[in-house]
Structure 1
Amino acid sequence: MARVLSLFRPQPLLTLLSRLKPALCKMSMDSRAREVFSTAVEAVQPDTVVKQSIERKEDTVIIDGRKFTLKHNLHMVGFGKAVLGMAAQVEKIMGDHLVKGIISVPNGIQQTLQQNGKGHLLLKENSSIKVMEGAKNNLPDGDAQRAAEEIKLLASELTEKDLLLVLISGGGSALLPAPIPPVSLKEKLDVTRKLAGAGATIQELNTVRRALSFLKGGGLAHQAHPAQVVALILSDVIGDPLDMIASGPTVRSEVWPEEILSILERYKLLPSLSASVKDVLARQSPRWKENKDESDASGHVLNVVIGSNSIALACAGRRARELGFRPVVLSPGVCGDVRSVSRLYGLLARFACSPEEPPPEIAAEVLRLGPEVGVESWDLCRTMQVLGEGRAEGWGATCLLAGGEPTVELTGKGRGGRNQELALRVGLELKGLELPPNGPVFLSGGTDGQDGPTEAAGAITDGGLYAEAQSQGLDIHDFLVNNDSYTFLSHLSAGKHLLVPGLTCTNVMDVHMLLIPAIPIKIS
């Protein structure tokens, strides 16, 4: 009798609705995963984020709650892979108040956008914005240096009546090289390459790079003083640290000679420095003390992150809910080796899909992996609580979302990228874990549309991957050892697992997605 009554016990309205949603959605799990990823990318399109961050009211503009007066006094500079689309939207919003602009963008980007039907991200004819292409293969070069010199000149000519709008996105550091004379661009690159080869951290690399740069580390804002500076930033760095994105050209950063020398001594590079580099470092002084009358950066510089991985995940979560999933965001800062990251996702899938209460060893290992993959214990506990409630109450399908930028240890010479290898490894972790309809499903994709030297942005896998590979005579482990995930996924089922969105025109790192099907309630 108790068993029968339990079938009719009152259920929360949201629980009942969430059970109905998957039935209403006829799309496959694979299709819904692709749709959610597409929504994440669309949310951080360069024109979209600019449009959402600027409110124009006649002769005033409001950015991040601050009001600025427009009197045909607006100048603009920009640097980064997504800056052309950002600039096109600024041009539409600001009209003739925009006096002059210079942007440094990747080599060939205008032609590529035109060929891919992205004309809305191009500037209008007779634009007041000058486009300078450079940094071929994402490396600083002479063309990018010339663009940086023109940007520096524009900023230095501004007065207290002017407003400088700075557009920044990923790739901006390579597109704004301005070494302090007499250091040449080649000499500066040699120093950073030697540091990277010696194992220096990204923080140490940036510290030295800023010391040898005229515009990085707040140098651009310094040049523009006393003009008001507003930077709109599309972040491609975990945690959105303003001083790290494009090396922080609008972020106040003091340069101390002792700190620079300490880093170079640590990696035994002092003897190999050129005379020019030694000369510049010897006469270094804290940049921001050169002008004691200069106001604090908070008064003359406004830095606003208008697009990030967190924003992409939030929009992806809303779309996932529309498609019948209960969304839960783990973290936008997943990092570390893909082997540890894939193990984490595999454990979370087993935790969520277990027909019984999962053994405590699963939760313990999840928490142990946290520090290795850059995820706080609090976020892991919160996520497991949501997954546990979903399993116990049977509220329907769940969409676990995360983002970041894991790393891959190169042991072979195959073709692939971190997203494809992560998806492949998670597919192995899900082996034997198959629930109708076709779940759980895992997706990993780069929001820039490119994963390593391949046409794919990532891949989608599930628990049937191993058996599928065996049926086609493919050894997954051999491909993994050779870092050849793209070749493997291309052979497998005619490449149906590959995620190929094409040119996305943006970059906020990667999106990870674990779609967990509804778990039937076990009634006792």
Structure 2
Amino acid sequence: MARVFSLFSSHPLLTFVRRRKPTLCKMSMDSRARKVFAAAVEAVQPDTVVRHSVERKEDSAIIDGHKFPLKHNLHIVGFGKAVLGMAAETERILGDHLVKGVISVPHMIKHNKNSHFHHSHLLLKDNNCIKVIEGAKHNLPDANAQMAAEKIKHLASELTEKDLLLVLISGGGSALLPAPIPPISLQEKLDVTRRLAAAGATIQQLNTVRLALSLLKGGGLAQYAHPAQVVALILSDVIGDPLDLIASGPTVQNEVGPEDVLLVLEQYKLLNSLPSSVKDVLGRPGTWCKVSEDETDKAEHVLNVVIGSNSVALKHAGLCARELGFRPVILSPGVCGDVRLVSRLYGLLARFACSREEPSPDISAELLRLGPEVGVQTWDLCRTMQVLGEGRTEGWGATCLLAGGEPTVKLTGKGRGGRNQELALQVGLELRGLEPPPIGPVFLSGGTDGQDGPTEAAGAITDARLYEEAQAQGLDVDHFLINNDSYTFFSQLSAGQHLVVPGLTCTNVMDVHVLLLPSI
């Protein structure tokens, strides 16, 4: 292990750490964890990411180093939880050249009192030329979202080679852009994808079939807009920022072939029970397969730019942590897998960092085994352990371990909760036996969209006292976990003080995990 760690002795992060020992501010550990999470969310606000990515120079827009002439030729379409704020900022920067726009946003987003959109800077100006359509109630495609998709398709199909189409995409965009290929109905398409999900299909397999049944996904929107110049500004809510998976890639060339779709349907034994409309479309690959001879020409007219992601959120969370007196260490933006395994990883890291003596080799071995199972690369895990180990032995001071991603929860009950609250609950159990704050660690897990499952909370914050607190208040932790009822648990524990409730943030770059590790 020592030989592996030695590879990181010249890592730039270690250079910073050795420079000085941070001085902690006087805020409580709980407050500092919440402040770090808030900084992560603030960094990926829709207006912020657009302002940092779109530059106006006279009658041109500069995006990702590319220059696009503006001659009253700008059109905007968008779909997702963040696109209202993205459109508002785009309008402020380029609005004098804007001709027309259509955006599809979540149901009641402008009227939700818990939403950030009560701030005027995230709203479009009065008498603007962008039509806003609310749909996808409960994050499910519906008639309103389908109507919005039809209007977006119509706008794109009318463009010429002189036009510039700015496509705003964020998390939730797939449900807000449903356009099944006729004669497939929206309900038939939903039924097929639900049956696949229930059978255990992966997100990649679901996407393969979803693209085959869609007009606009998988590059379809870009095709309708050809020969116009298309620029997509993307706020990623998918691990690794794969362009073809974010909102199902409406501006990314679809390379799914007929054999890929049939293979998925055959694997889950759905081929013979498909609706006749779906069989009809799949039997005519030319209807849905979006690959054509002039793809090279069309690709040259499309620019996809990721302007916000979990990595951006973690970077700014680290800056905030440093201001609060912590040494920031970013573990990974790609944490995934069962929350029980993820919680075990964080519990082991806390014990590794907080041990007053050299940690047992068994802890290091288990960490290296667990890492790949939850999406953490061995290289990143070794680097993090190097920093934590030297911090412990050399007394560098308190550390803020940061990570992000999207763990999963195995449903065994019918309670209320979400992956962030359940992760916080599980981590609280893993921390049992360590010192309580301000000496011991504090853990926070929160969804950057402000909503964890069907609850008003984004997540929860916990520490080593959780189990004893629950016992003292007559709460059976195991009962709540078995019933997936983490929200009810945290609502009752200390009158809900452990819940993180920022309100709907109108952005989404998955989850942020904050593990504060005071110096020993």
Q: Where does 1:313-324 land on structure 2 (aligned, <5 Å)?
A: 313-324=314-325
Match of 2:173 in 1: 172
Question: Using the alignment, how far apart are the partners of 2:478 and 2:125 within structure 1?
Answer: 51
Q: Where does 1:120-269 land on structure 2 (aligned, <5 Å)?
A: 120-269=121-270
Question: Using the alignment, how far apart are the partners of 2:401 and 2:110 within structure 1?
Answer: 36
Q: Give the TM-score, by structure 1 length.
A: 0.93
Q: Contact conserved, 2:253 with 2:291, CA < 8 A, in 1?
A: no
Question: Using the alignment, how far apart are the partners of 2:419 and 2:22 within structure 1?
Answer: 36
Q: Which region of structure 1 is more displaced relative to structure 2, 280-289 or 232-241?
A: 280-289
Q: Where does 1:405-420 land on structure 2 (aligned, <5 Å)?
A: 405-420=406-421
Q: CA deviation at 1:20?
A: 5.0
Secondary structure at 2:111's aligned position in 1? helix
Question: Using the alignment, how far apart are the partners of 1:17 and 1:288 within structure 2?
Answer: 55
Q: Contact conserved, 1:134 with 1:143, CA < 8 A, in 2?
A: yes
Question: Using the alignment, how far apart are the partners of 1:289 and 1:332 within structure 2?
Answer: 32
Give the counterpart letter for 1:330 in structure 2.
L
Secondary structure at 2:356's aligned position in 1? coil
Match of 1:445 in 2: 446
Secondary structure at 1:110's aligned position in 2? coil
Q: Provide structure 2 residue ranges, at least 5 long, that are not aligned to the other structure.
A: 1-13
Match of 2:9 in 1: none
Question: Using the alignment, how far apart are the partners of 2:392 and 2:492 within structure 1?
Answer: 36
Q: Contact conserved, 1:29 with 1:439, CA < 8 A, in 2?
A: no
- What whole-Å deviation, never above 9, does each CA across 1:379-415 have from its counterpart, x for those lacking one? 1111100100100110000000000111111112222
Give the counterpart letter for 1:21 in structure 2.
T
Match of 2:508 in 1: 507
Match of 1:467 in 2: 468
Q: Contact conserved, 1:155 with 1:224, CA < 8 A, in 2?
A: yes
Q: Contact conserved, 1:416 with 1:483, CA < 8 A, in 2?
A: yes
The yes-or-no answer on 1:58 pairing with 2:49 is no
- What whole-Å deviation, never above 9, does each CA across 1:195-216 have from its counterpart, x for those lacking one? 1111111111111111111100
Give the counterpart letter for 1:154 in structure 2.
L
Match of 1:41 in 2: 41
Match of 1:6 in 2: none
Q: Contact conserved, 2:22 with 2:327, CA < 8 A, in 1?
A: no
Secondary structure at 1:21's aligned position in 2? coil
Match of 2:23 in 1: 21
Q: Contact conserved, 1:113 with 1:119, CA < 8 A, in 2?
A: no
Give the counterpart letter for 1:56 in structure 2.
R
Q: Contact conserved, 1:398 with 1:516, CA < 8 A, in 2?
A: yes
Q: CA deviation at 1:438?
A: 4.3
Q: CA deviation at 1:114?
A: 9.3
Q: CA deviation at 1:19?
A: 3.5
The yes-or-no answer on 1:110 pairing with 2:102 is no
Question: Using the alignment, how far apart are the partners of 1:474 and 1:148 within structure 2?
Answer: 47
Question: Using the alignment, how far apart are the partners of 2:76 and 2:68 within structure 1?
Answer: 14
Question: Using the alignment, how far apart are the partners of 1:470 and 1:448 within structure 2?
Answer: 32
Secondary structure at 1:205's aligned position in 2? helix
Question: Using the alignment, how far apart are the partners of 1:453 and 1:278 within structure 2?
Answer: 35
Match of 2:496 in 1: 495
Q: Contact conserved, 2:405 with 2:510, CA < 8 A, in 1?
A: yes
The yes-or-no answer on 1:377 pairing with 2:378 is yes
Question: Using the alignment, how far apart are the partners of 2:335 and 2:507 within structure 1?
Answer: 19
Structure 1 residues 456 and 473 mapped into 2: Cα distance closer, same or farther (>3 Å)? same
Greater Rg by CA? 1
Secondary structure at 2:110's aligned position in 1? helix
Q: CA deviation at 1:297?
A: 4.9
Q: CA deviation at 1:293?
A: 3.7
- What whole-Å deviation, never above 9, does each CA across 1:417-459 have from its counterpart, x for those lacking one? 1111111111111111116624210000111111122211111
Q: CA deviation at 1:464?
A: 1.3
- What whole-Å deviation, never above 9, does each CA across 1:244-279 have from its counterpart, x for those lacking one? 011000001123112211211111111111221111
Secondary structure at 1:346's aligned position in 2? helix
Structure 1 residues 15 and 367 mapped into 2: Cα distance closer, same or farther (>3 Å)? closer
Secondary structure at 1:112's aligned position in 2? coil
Match of 2:91 in 1: 91
Question: Using the alignment, how far apart are the partners of 1:498 and 1:17 within structure 2?
Answer: 36
Q: CA deviation at 1:475?
A: 2.1
Question: Using the alignment, how far apart are the partners of 1:493 and 1:109 within structure 2?
Answer: 31
Question: Using the alignment, how far apart are the partners of 1:101 and 1:252 within structure 2?
Answer: 23
Question: Using the alignment, how far apart are the partners of 1:199 and 1:86 within structure 2?
Answer: 35
Match of 1:401 in 2: 402
Secondary structure at 2:204's aligned position in 1? helix
Q: CA deviation at 1:94?
A: 0.5
Question: Using the alignment, how far apart are the partners of 1:180 and 1:232 within structure 2?
Answer: 26
Question: Using the alignment, how far apart are the partners of 1:213 and 1:13 within structure 2?
Answer: 51
Q: Provide structure 1 residue ranges, at least 5 long, that are not aligned to the other structure.
A: 1-11, 520-524
Q: CA deviation at 1:371?
A: 2.2
Give the counterpart letter for 1:211 in structure 2.
A
Q: CA deviation at 1:489?
A: 1.4
Give the counterpart letter for 1:251 in structure 2.
V
Match of 1:76 in 2: 76
Q: Contact conserved, 2:72 with 2:99, CA < 8 A, in 1?
A: yes
Structure 1 residues 218 and 279 mapped into 2: Cα distance closer, same or farther (>3 Å)? same
